[in-house]
Amino acid sequence: MSAGKRHQFSSHALLLILDGKAIWNINGHRVQVSYGELVAVQENTVIEVIEGGNLDLAGWHVQFDTYAMFPDRGEVVKYEWHVPSGDTYQKVKLTGGTLASLSQHWNGDGSPNPNVIRVGNQLLVYELLQHVYRELLEEEPTVEQSILRTVDYMQQHYEQVITRKQLAEIAGISPWHYSRKFSERYGKPPLDYLAHYRIYRAQEELLLSTATSQDIAKRTGFEDAHYFSRRFKQLTGVSPRNYAQTLPQRKIVCLSPLCAEVLIHLGVIPHAVVVTPLLLPEHLRELFDMHQVKMMEVSQYELDVEQIRQVQPEGIVGNFWTEEIKQRLRTIAPIITGLNNDVEALLHQLAGLFHREDTAHKLHMQMKLEVNKAQQQLQHLVQSSSTVMVLRVEPFGYRYLGGHSNGVSHLLYEQLRLTLPQPLHSGEAWFNPCSLDLLAKANPNYLFVEKRVMQHFSAEENMKKLVESSQWNGLEAVKNNRVFFVDTCLWVDGRGIIGHQMILNEIVNRLVTNL
């Protein structure tokens, strides 16, 4: 499901996201979906992919219909099913253990008996639906949940006048009890918390817009510009006018290793970075150790918001995250998110924020020189129109790297001008579905193979099926010993300033050696 495409579901569907993130429009509702989420939709639902994110999205579409049986009349009629939430769609988060259990259904060899397959599929539908209905079994909201409801209200209406009495009414408890419970949970009274939240939003405005302090004060709930300036200086140590210049000296937490690496090369040392140990390239681990950047370890596609809160950052920068995660982070510090995952674009974005344009220009020119050198080394290969393909082997199937995307795609096919096999030109996404028959049609002269690394799943079984297939053994690249295995940690998660040179070296060494 690539960006800009519309999909209509003629039957009820359960969409299980097993890799990546994206933004969808589901029947007119903007919805962010990501790894580990199950989305239930009713028949005739229309989903438009607004943004595919910089990460590829993969998962399963389970389609089903519902029927009512009347044995006394000998009838079976179609039954009108509705999503339990009462809306036209519903989204729930599944745990890693649940996902690993569900994966066994698809990864098993299966029985040749059609009745066994039919019953197994029905059991799968019921198991997924059970997770959807479980959301409705929650008990009456606790005091904690009531307080969280008031935090949501502050986030939605911070530019308006908000009183303690108003918040207590939303929580459904007395003002005194509300203030006490709120302070126990957040370490400060509710109106102080609101003031901090407003200042965080003002800090973001000062970094991302050219609006005046007076305009920003009104936008963030301060009617008096002088009071805003005084409160701003009280909480940040500087006036609104001077805030942007102090950003490089502040306590910054990066939500991705790529952001942290680029900042370090710009001369800004972040305090901490969120990393997934399974996917962290060794060269980045060494870089963070060298500069004493705290590494906060999380599982793949997850983020420990409370761990970030304990660090007490003065700024948070990151890439593509769900709106739910973003809203929780916005209560901790000013946050700049939605940054590009492509190193050249990210370098430009962070240089503008941290006033390091000159340094960024030098880094960009150095990367350009590295590409020019590689182009010269690969000139003969480019002129021969030999085809180069990147195949990803996943726990759930196979995909190929598209020719008009970012990351290594941009490096291979735009900058180095290598040739993508003709049958793959229609792929619009970063990674596109690839059957074994399509692989045989593509028949590349050179083949890079990435065996996908994931937290709860293994690609070993599909790798075994691939190398044992007739399509694989018929490939020109296989016959001529021009198949090269590459590391997810470097080619996908490690393409930063250092990784750019490492990947270039790997491409040149593999291709030139095998000319």
Q: Mind giving me the DSSP string for 129-161?
A: HHHHHHGGG--SPPHHHHHHHHHHHHHHHTTS-
Instruction: Kindly list the distances between the CA atom of residue 227 and the CA atoms of 188, 210, 232, 236, 345, in Å, as whole numbers in the listed order.
Output: 20, 20, 8, 14, 38
pTM: 0.84
Q: How would you label 76-112 residue by residue, b for 16+ Cβ within 10 Å and e otherwise?
A: eeeeebebeeeebbbbbebebebbeebbeeeeeeeee
Q: What share of the chain is helix, strand, coil (3-state, %, to 5)?
A: 50, 20, 35
pLDDT at 55: 58
Dihedral class, residue 385 (left if φ above 0, else alpha if ψ from -120 to 50, else beta): left
Supply φ then ψ for residue 202, to 5 degrees: -65, -40
pLDDT at 337: 87
CA 483 to centroid of chain Cα atoms: 30
* Mode of pairing for the β-strands spanning 252-254 and 272-275: parallel
DSSP state of 90: E
Which strands, in side-by-side order, build the sheet including 446-451? Answer: 431-433, 397-401, 388-394, 446-451, 483-486
In 3D space, the residue among 292, 379, 496, 398 whose CA is nearest the CA of residue 56 turns out to be 398
Instruction: Kindly list the distances between the CA atom of residue 321 and the CA atoms of 10, 288, 342, 503, in Å, as whole numbers in the listed order.
Output: 30, 23, 15, 26
**Three-class secondary structure of residue 35 per DSSP:** coil
pLDDT at 109: 56
In 3D space, the residue among 480, 483, 448, 371 whose CA is nearest the CA of residue 417 turns out to be 371
CA atoms of 214 and 223, how far apart (whole Å) = 9
Residue 188 β-bridge partners: none
pLDDT at 299: 86
pLDDT at 36: 85
Residue 427, token pair as written in the block: 């792929």
The end-to-end CA distance of the chain, in Å, is 37
pLDDT at 514: 61
Residue 16, token pair as written in the block: 């299980």
Kindly give the confidence (pLDDT) of every residue in the chain, 515 residues in length, as a single tens digit, with 9 standing for 90 and above: 666 778 899 999 999 988 878 888 999 888 888 888 999 999 999 999 887 655 567 788 999 999 998 888 888 888 888 888 878 899 998 876 777 677 666 665 566 788 888 888 888 899 899 988 886 665 556 788 889 889 999 998 999 999 999 999 998 899 999 999 999 988 899 999 999 999 999 999 999 988 898 999 999 999 888 999 999 999 999 999 999 999 999 999 999 999 999 999 999 999 999 999 999 999 999 999 999 999 999 988 888 999 999 999 999 999 867 777 888 899 999 999 888 888 999 999 999 999 999 999 999 999 999 999 999 999 999 999 899 999 999 988 899 999 988 889 999 999 999 999 999 998 888 888 899 999 999 999 999 999 998 877 889 999 999 999 999 999 999 999 999 999 999 998 888 999 999 999 999 999 987 65
Instruction: Kindly list the distances between the CA atom of residue 212 and the CA atoms of 20, 54, 194, 205, 254, in Å, as whole numbers in the listed order.
Output: 38, 33, 22, 10, 28
Dihedral of alpha carbons 274, 277, 279, 281, sign: positive
- CB atoms < 10 A from the CB of 291, how many? 12
Residue 34, token pair as written in the block: 């990501």
Residue 37 β-bridge partners: 93
Whether 308 and 326 have beta carbons less than 8 Å apart is answered as: no
Whether 423 and 459 have beta carbons less than 8 Å apart is answered as: no
pLDDT at 389: 97
